[in-house]
Amino acid sequence: MMGKYNHTVTQDEVGLSINQIIKANFKFSSRFKTKMKYQQLVDLNDIQTPGFKKPEEGDVISIRLPQETSDFPVEDIPVIVLYEDDDLMFINKQPGIIVHPTKGHPHHTIANGIMKYMQDHDQSYKIRFANRIDMDTSGIVIVAKNANAQNDISHQMRSNTVHKQYIAIVNGIIDEDEFTVHAPIGRPREESIKRTVLEEGGKDAITDVRVLERFTNNTLVEVTLHTGRTHQIRVHLKHVGHPITGDRLYGGDAPGLMERQALHAAQMTVRHPMTKEKLTVEASLPEDMKNCLAILRS
């Protein structure tokens, strides 16, 4: 077994069943609840106990987590860990590497690197990515180490309660110091990998933009997402006439400055699935964006 979640019964919970107390204190998925029942994963004071029992104040309810593993090939790909505990790991993904294996990219992914990281640190869990960023975007990626953590963070993502802040370099000079882009995003055609602002049929999307520094022909901005649409920042910045520097897909070509879009997931704040406390993690800029800024400043 990998571990377990514990909850001490309070005076207010006396008279409730174990199942009722678990439901009130944990956001487990329906799938995991079924697994808890049929694999008898719930203990009361370290003794396996059915969920209909009513515990006393001070009793400890434990939910044991079954051992799960991933079977991706192990590859020596650097994993830059920003924060780690028994439930979550935040990493600073380098640009040019895809997060999860796909048919087009079955190897050389962050998942393969995490397999090596687990091997080196004597860990074992099923790799569950709670968020993903584009191959050529750098920055924070969250790895959930168990089903409950993934379900909780995914719920926060869907509720738009996760604070997501990016740093980007864009083409052109932005005159306004701060502004918000509120424009729906969708595919212009079903087969297209590109997204665009659509007046009809698009999904609601909101992006805040704040200027950090202006250069001769570029602007450094801080971007805060209020929704999580595919390519949202790239589409919204193109929509206002300032595509991201180096973003060839959306018209931000920048010879001599960037070989990929200058976009970095710099900060993320979530509510920890277990402690319920706010957790803020920051990721430093990668070298290519630092070099680009140095050129622009010179």
Active site residue 134: yes
Identity of the amino acid at 25:
N
Torsion over CA: 236, 238, 241, 245 (sign): positive
237 neighbors 168 (Cβ within 8 angstroms): yes
Separation of alpha carbons 51 and 212, rounded Å = 54
Tallying the residues shown for the chain, one arrives at: 298
Could you tell me which of 234, 236, 226, 222 has the C-alpha nearest to residue 181? 236
- Choosing from 87, 134, 152, 288, the catalytic residue is 134
**Please, what's the largest Cα pairwise distance for the chain?**
70
Dist CA 51 CA 26 (whole Å): 14
Among residues 144, 168, 284, 170, which one has the least CA distance to residue 225?
A: 168
Catalytic residues: 134
